[in-house]
Structure 1
Amino acid sequence: MEKGISKPSILVVADDFTGANDAGVSLAQVGHTVDVAFETPYRGDASVWVINSDSRAMDPKQAAMKMTSLMRHLPMANNPPLMIKKIDSTLRGNIGAEIEALMRACGLTGAVVAPAFPQAGRTTVDGECRVNGVRLTETEFASDPKTPVMSARITDIIRLQTAITCQPVTVSQLSHLSCEQPWIGVMDAQTDNDLDRIAAAVMQAKQPLLLVGSAGICNAVARRSAIMPPRTVLAIIGSMSEIAQQQIATLHSHPRTTKIYVDVEHILAGDASGYGVRIAQALQKGDHCIVHTCTDSVARHHIDTLCQRWQMSRTALGEKICQFLGELTRQVLLHATPDALYLSGGDVAMATASALGASGFRIRRNVAQCVPYGHFLGGVWSRPVMTKAGGFGDETTLRQVLNFIEEKMSE
């Protein structure tokens, strides 16, 4: 690339190529131009540079020298970029040596270490790295053939390769840590919200800090530095099947999902005017909005009670709910514009199509198991639509749908 050297707003240093890509992809998805460089000096005009040091399997001294050499050729003076040291979420590699070398090369006195990646089952609890709830030393990563891990305690791993003071810290303690003596702080995180708070604290700190973490912390930085608005899905789930409820439940760790329960009693009583406003507000703030009419499997057994109380058949009850959800969707779309609709339950999908004035459906492809993707023909909604029979798919189906809209639809 022959363009002159620019200064990126975010500079990431990763210790292997796949890790570099994992670090950069979430930043690219929110509008940044992201380049992964294999060597320095590097000439480019991307807003994010990810430098692959390829140093994970080196000995600590070599890895530190590689960090120093890389930084010598990068533009750091005068308004330096946000510095991120991308590490493996299971602590493999030369973490302590590389943190110290980068701190010295960049003139930074503080480093915040948050290796958690909750979406991949990696969390940090009481200073220990856990994989799906199991201590790291009790997993296969402890016996990695190239870079085995000897402890689950993050401070112990870092102290093996640096004499810089390393201790557990909290977000509230960051502003009180010394600017005179170098320090490394390790932070617990079990959810994406925890990582969001850590990223925010580092990005807003008075003095520049080195942010150290896995793809999880890079995702948190992406959420706080988005150039374009995040893609959103309005999911209307009328199915009461157990698998549909499991699909909703798996979204508990998703960082930007709002679930809105529509009480069938309100629908039948004609007292449901507030739902549309809440749904539109969720979409407008950039959340996926999951609208559902069933709280758990127990609710399925209350249908007969509802029918008796309102003196209507099961068929009539179902039609009433579906018509309400279809009209609710139409009203919401007058005030908010999600990037796609997800309609779970055949009757709900048909009622929504009717409310939107559609005359047919053109199928494009499958998004996930049993989830066709396409567009309505005619009517007032021309953006993507995904449909799913209520009892189909597995517990990951809805998450796959959200991932498709967030990641692949922009390709």
Structure 2
Amino acid sequence: MKVNNLNRDIVVIADDFTGANDAGVSLALSGKKVSVAFKTPFTDDTDALVINSDSRAMKASEAAEKLAQYAADVHAAHWLIKKIDSTLRGNPGAEIEALLALSGKRQAIIAPAFPAAGRTTENGVCLVKGVPVTDTEFASDPKTPVRHAQIAAVLAEQTALTSVVITPEQLAAALESDARLVIVDARSDDDLDRIIAAAFARDERPLLVGSAGLCDALARRLATPRQLLAVIGSMSEIAQQQIQRVRGQDNVSTVLIDINDVFNAAMDGYQQQIAAALAAGQHCVVHTCADTHARHQIDALCEQRGLSRAALGETISAFLGELTRNALETSRPAALYVSGGDVAMAVASTLNAQGFAITGQVAQCVPFGRFLGCRWQGPVMTKAGGFGTETTLLEVLHFIEEKMSD
């Protein structure tokens, strides 16, 4: 039986199902694996867990009690978000206080604005297309009518925690104050992005409280770049042509492995190069053959090292397998491309993969899928060393940039 997946990147507590989906969709589009749970414990692996408490129409005390059920998930979150309605319906005060108590967090940043849907906040007032929410249909909602346009007044009905109303520019200073509830105005997505940036600057992560607009801003901040880590152990002529074809691209970095370093187990420098390339938003191509001339020096290298061609290949493949595993532990490329059968198997072995699930084909002779039974579950593309055309690797890069971002 599986147990809860501890240390999830994000846990969102929403008070209704559609709101839960609204909170999760942008995170999914940013590259996160997102699941919406109706009940807990939720044991499937997921980057972002969105829990629907279905508590919007409950009494405030009942809503707070319902959230106490999620204590284990709250404690496991790197980022904890209370998703609230952008028009302040429901039990925001009671649920925020409950989550602060459960999580042990000192402060909550509260920004219910959703500018893309016409919901903004100015001077602590919730506006719908520029009109105070109490002058709109939401004031007469049949289940959860809104009685106040002032966010602080809504919260004060259900909690005695101190609050302050500020602008995004004042947020950094407010997070140093004693205010438990920091209500932040936002009239644009840029304002929400500044709010998230201020939260990231804190050593102690605050509770984030907002609508889908704030979740979208977090997703933008956490978006996974669409980068490929390509590990090419093949010395075939076509493999070298494929590398040369992408080398001139502005968004491609290449890392050439010196064979002498393979025998010296000198791996740290290459790991740093790979991490730096991916962190800079570059595709990273790791290869072991500088040019055609190097390919014809294999016999001399074997004689120098006292190895057969097979033994030399095994040594290089093992090095590349370990290097790839280490790179995947420290960076998060969108996908992995492995060229050369021995290298592909070495990578699978170091990742402790139990098999390979084929999903489809990216380009001619480039099947893709996922390794089975191992921790790294990103897409994997494989290619036999001598297969393909000069543009094969370029086609793979285009697939990563275009198809995987759809």
1:64-103 matches, within 5 Å, as 64-71=64-71, 73-74=72-73, 76=75, 80-103=77-100
The residue that corresponds to 1:299 in the other structure is none
Partners in 2 of 1:132 and 1:182 — Cα distance?
29
Residue aligning to 2:118: 121
How far did residue 215 of structure 1 move? Answer: 0.3
Question: Matches of residues 165-204 of structure 1 in structure 2 within 5 Å?
Answer: 165-177=162-174, 181=178, 183-204=180-201
1:203-242 paired onto structure 2 within 5 Å: 203-229=200-226
Kept in 1, the 8 Å contact 2:175–2:182? The answer is no
> How far did residue 76 of structure 1 move?
1.6
Deviation of 1:121 after TM superposition, in Å, equals: 0.5
CA distance in 1, matches of 2:404, 2:15: 26
What's 1:343 paired with? none
**Displacement, 1:228?**
3.3
Instruction: Verify the 8 A CA contact 1:96 1:159 in the aligned structure 2.
Output: yes
Cα distance between partner residues in 1 of 2:35 and 2:124: 33
Where 2:8 maps in the other structure, the secondary structure is coil
Instruction: Supply the distance in 2 between the matched residues of 1:228 and 1:63 (Cα, whole angstroms).
Output: 38
- Letter matched to residue 91 of structure 1: L
Aligned CA distance change for structure 1 residues 3 and 178 (closer, same or farther; 3 Å): closer
Following superposition, the deviation at residue 3 of structure 1 comes to: 6.1
Could you tell me how far apart the structure 2 residues matched to 1:98 and 1:11 are?
Answer: 15
User: Is 2:28 the counterpart of 1:25?
Assistant: no
Residues 125, 178 of structure 1: alpha-carbon distance in 2 compared, 3 angstrom cutoff? closer
Relative distance call for 1:177 and 1:189 in structure 2 (3 A) is closer
Contact 1:30/1:229, CA 8 A, preserved across alignment: no
Tell me: CA distance 1:22–1:406, structure 2 relative to 1, closer, same or farther (3 Å).
farther
Partners of 2:88 and 2:146 within 8 A in 1: yes
Q: CA deviation at 1:29?
A: 0.2
Q: 1:105 aligns with which of 102, 105, 109?
A: 102
Contact 2:168–2:185 under 8 Å retained in 1: no
AA partner of residue 191 (structure 2): D
**In 2, Cα distance between equivalents of 1:185 and 1:33:** 30
**Which residue pairs with 2:148 in the alignment?**
151
Distance 1:145 1:205, change over 3 A: same
In the alignment, which residue of structure 2 is the partner of 1:8? Answer: 8
Matched-pair contact (CA < 8 Å) for 1:57–1:146: yes
d(CA) in 1 for partners of 2:405, 2:169: 39
- Superposition deviation, residue 409 in structure 1: 7.7
Residue number in structure 2 paired with 1:360: none
**Amino acid across the alignment from 1:69:** Q
Deviation of the 1:170 alpha carbon = 3.1
Distance in 2, Cα, partners of 1:4 & 1:139? 42
What's 1:53 paired with?
Answer: 53
Aligned 1:230-309 pairs, distance under 5 A: none
TM-score of the pair, normalised by structure 1: 0.54
1:7 deviation in Å? 2.2
Do 2:163 and 2:179's aligned partners in 1 also have CA atoms closer than 8 Å? no
> Which AA in structure 1 matches 2:42?
Y
What residue identity is the alignment partner of 1:190?
A: R
State the TM-score, normalized to the length of structure 2: 0.54
Change (3 A) 1:164 1:3: closer
Q: CA deviation at 1:148?
A: 0.2
Distance 2:402 2:55 in 1: 31
Total equivalences in the alignment: 239
The alpha carbon displacement at 1:229 in A equals 4.1
Deviation at 1:171, TM superposition (A): 3.4
Q: 1:171 to 1:107 in 2, by over 3 A?
A: same
Do 1:123 and 1:129's aligned partners in 2 also have CA atoms closer than 8 Å? yes
Deviations 1:305-343 (A, max 9, x none): xxxxxxxxxxxxxxxxxxxxxxxxxxxxxxxxxxxxxxx
Note closer, same or farther for the CA distance 1:178–1:191 as it changes in structure 2 (3 Å cut).
Answer: closer
Cα contact 1:6–1:43 (8 A) shared by 2: no
Could you tell me how far 1:134 is from its partner in structure 2? 1.0
* Structure 1 unmatched runs, 5+: 231-283, 286-381, 383-404
By how many angstroms is 1:126 displaced?
A: 1.4
Q: Where does structure 2 lack aligned partners over 5 or more consecutive residues?
A: 228-279, 282-394, 396-400
Aligned to 1:353: none
Query: RMSD of aligned C-alpha atoms?
Result: 2.9
Question: Structure 1 residues 122, 93: closer, same or farther in 2, change over 3 A?
Answer: same
> Residue 352 of structure 2 aligns with which residue?
none
- Asked if the contact 1:109–1:179 (Cα under 8 Å) also holds between the matched residues in 2, the reply is no
CA positional deviation for 1:176: 3.4
Indicate conservation of the 8 Å contact 1:4/1:44, yes or no. yes
